[in-house]
Amino acid sequence: MIVDISRKPDVFRYARASAEVVVDRCNTAVAAHAARFAHRYLPFLHPLPLSVSASCKNGRLYVEGSTEWQTGVEMDVLFGVLVGAVSSGVETIKNIVVEVKTKGDGYATVDITQLEELPLVRNGDVVASAYGEMELKSLDLVKKPVDKGHPIYAAQTAAALNVKRLCELMGGPCPSIQSFKIDIDVRDILTAVATVKSRDVPPGPEALFAVGVAFLTIWDMVKKWEKDERGQYPYTKIRVVSLR
């Protein structure tokens, strides 16, 4: 199911997301590419004509996007941050947030600077596990169906479908996935653990990606309850996604 947006007007929309990453260089080309095609991976997003760019400075990866369309772009740039960080070779991503989003008046012109694409170096065993924590204001809603479906079930399905598809976004060797499992728990925070086993190529990036996709799917499903009166997300962030 995709929510009907046919009665919404086209208005200018802008968003910038970022995350803490510890790398020498960021894969900004893949980050921007992933934001443009996020609708193919996050189940409730719509395709939209997104102008997007990415940059890396002071230990953070930034992705920003703008469009004149019927839906917001914050989930698209969040997805770009996730994939850009994973494709940069990190083992830990911290504090994935939406820094700002606007609707209506033009906020910023996205400056498409020279983007850098780096080959991903895979290290580790053919079994990989990733752990993540996410803060939500609406934790109780995660445990039951909302208008888009059941957040946990949708997140598990999205993660399982996407764990084999990371190579579509970042290229390089694709692991032959033999098994995949993701557990999502809701207590004081939202947690997820994903375990991936392959036959050949170390699947650490896929494990990170699976946890991130699960969290972003849940975020998208409950986002209307996460926003404040200005439409921002002051209470919502992915604290950490890390290999174990």
Q: How far apart are CA 47 and CA 189, in angstroms?
A: 31
Contact 236, 139 (CB under 8 A): no
Catalytic residue (one of 10, 188, 220, 228): 220
The residue among 87, 141, 136 whose CA lies nearest residue 235 is 136
The residue among 199, 214, 61 whose CA lies nearest residue 130 is 214
Q: Which neighbouring-strand residues pair with 205?
A: none
C-alpha 188, offset from chain centre = 22
Contact 220, 141 (CB under 8 A): no
Q: How far apart are CA 3 and CA 142, in angstroms?
A: 18
Task: Tell me which amino acid residue 231 is.
Answer: G
- Is 220 a known active-site residue? yes
Residues annotated as part of the active site: 220
